[in-house]
């Protein structure tokens, strides 16, 4: 699956599932199911536009979400715009300060990167790490690091210093190519983990079905190692999203398709001393469980896994929010909620979980205006209640939010919309995109 081209309250007629956290007698389950069919009216929210992209030096089309630092500043990328050495521009990395000041930190030029689609990851020292889908000697993508400049350079240009720590190679070299919108993660030893959407092995197009990789630091350099190559079998293919890690060092992620009935998979990778063992937690059937789980996963404190599918399967709708619970040697799949909206209109990014276990997400084409939405699922006594936080209009507030939302300690949500805004006319004549904030 590739990226699509392009304040109201909804009450969802869609079915809502119950969580699997408690064991209840049958009558109680019936009562909870009835309650779960209700949705709360949208709470009073304040939607603020942080920046409207112009297609100039600030870039355009922010496909990724935003990343918060400890000071309340947010960082993100635009996939196009700025330097025109690439088709449509090579993209940028930017910061919006807590005070609302927008700064372009870096403009890609092609060989150093082209088309960043993933969130940036902030290391403990404030250095930024990320990927570009294209760029590099083979045009198959880079992993980059951005560091603040010295004060003298900062006063002159404001541009951060970029270092390419890995360049992906040829499609057929078995190492993986085209890191898509999966964010990088660190373990406690400073190793980096990510995914490449193609390459590796298997009968897929683009030289293979994708890989999961590790980058290990050593004496100022980085060593690249493939942890797993997808085969286009029961394990799936095309890992667009990144991975998450539990406290024991296991990795979790999703593939877009080529699992059972081409619906995609959720998988686990477990270190075994000499390598990694892959186990498929769920093969999506494109039925009531949904299909195309492109957005990745989130873990709770008990290592239960949550995600969302991009479409609603046989029942229609804009996707299914689901939970996977470890049961012995296997996993139990539970459909928590079928999101309202048309087929294929659902999330393309991971969900975000707050400290209370509530889930937040975006839909690309959902909402009252079919321009996307931001939603919240609240867990209470075995059921989930859906609240529509914002429906995009395609105007100054933007349209088609693809990236995940970021959540600060005060409950404020931050994100981007791919199109919309009034800052300029970019791809296909739509607006160039928006960065936004929702305050409860």
Digit-coded pLDDT (tens) for 328-377? 889 999 999 999 887 778 999 999 999 999 999 999 999 999 999 999 99
Say which residue, 154 or 283, is predicted with more confidence.
Answer: 283
Instruction: Identify the band that residue 26 occupies on the pLDDT scale cut at 50, 70 and 90.
Output: very low
The token pair at 421 is 């805004």
Digit-coded pLDDT (tens) for 162-204? 999 999 999 999 999 999 999 999 999 999 999 999 999 988 8
Q: Which residue has the tokens 């979790």?
A: 252
How much is the pTM?
0.89
Digit-coded pLDDT (tens) for 287-326? 899 999 999 999 999 999 999 999 887 777 789 999 999 9
């Amino acid at each position: 699956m590739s990226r699509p081209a392009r304040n109201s309250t909804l009450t969802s007629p869609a079915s809502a599932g119950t969580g699997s956290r408690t064991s209840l007698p049958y009558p109680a389950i019936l009562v909870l199911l009835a309650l779960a069919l209700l949705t709360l009216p949208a709470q009073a929210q304040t939607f603020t536009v942080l920046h409207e992209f112009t297609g100039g030096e600030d870039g355009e089309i922010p496909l990724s979400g935003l990343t918060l630092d400890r000071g309340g500043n947010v960082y993100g990328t635009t996939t196009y715009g700025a330097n025109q050495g690439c088709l449509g521009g090579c993209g940028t990395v930017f910061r919006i300060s807590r005070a609302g000041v927008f700064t372009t930190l870096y403009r890609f030029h092609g060989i150093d990167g082209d088309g960043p689609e993933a969130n940036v990851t902030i290391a403990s020292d404030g250095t930024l790490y990320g990927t570009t889908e294209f760029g590099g000697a083979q045009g198959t993508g880079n992993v980059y690091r951005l560091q603040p400049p010295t004060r003298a350079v900062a006063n002159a240009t404001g541009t951060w210093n970029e270092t390419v720590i890995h360049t992906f190679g040829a499609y057929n070299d078995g190492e993986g190519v085209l890191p898509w919108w999966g964010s990088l993660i660190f373990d406690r030893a400073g190793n980096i983990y990510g995914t490449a959407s193609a390459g590796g092995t298997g009968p897929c197009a683009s030289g293979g079905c994708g890989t999961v990789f590790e980058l290990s630091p050593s004496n100022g350099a980085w060593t690249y190692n493939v942890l797993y190559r997808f085969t286009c079998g029961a394990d799936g293919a095309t890992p667009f999203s990144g991975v998450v890690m539990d406290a024991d060092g296991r990795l979790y992620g999703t593939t877009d398709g080529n699992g059972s009935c081409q619906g995609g998979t959720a998988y686990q990778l477990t270190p075994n001393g000499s390598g990694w063992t892959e186990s498929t937690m769920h093969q999506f059937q494109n039925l009531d469980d949904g299909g195309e789980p492109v957005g990745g996963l989130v873990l709770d404190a008990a290592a239960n896994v949550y995600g969302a599918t991009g479409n609603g399967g046989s029942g229609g709708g804009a996707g299914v929010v689901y939970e996977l619970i470890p049961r012995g040697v296997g996993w139990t799949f539970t459909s928590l909620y079928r999101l309202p909206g048309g087929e294929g209109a659902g999330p393309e990014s991971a969900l975000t979980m707050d400290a209370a276990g509530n889930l937040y997400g975006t839909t690309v084409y959902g909402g009252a205006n079919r321009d996307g939405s931001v939603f919240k699922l609240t867990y209470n006594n075995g059921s989930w209640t859906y609240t529509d936080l914002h429906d995009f209009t395609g105007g100054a507030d933007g349209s088609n939010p693809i990236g995940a939302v970021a959540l600060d300690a005060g409950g404020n949500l931050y994100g981007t919309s791919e199109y919309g805004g009034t800052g300029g006319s970019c791809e296909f004549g739509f607006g160039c995109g928006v960065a936004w904030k929702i305050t409860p």
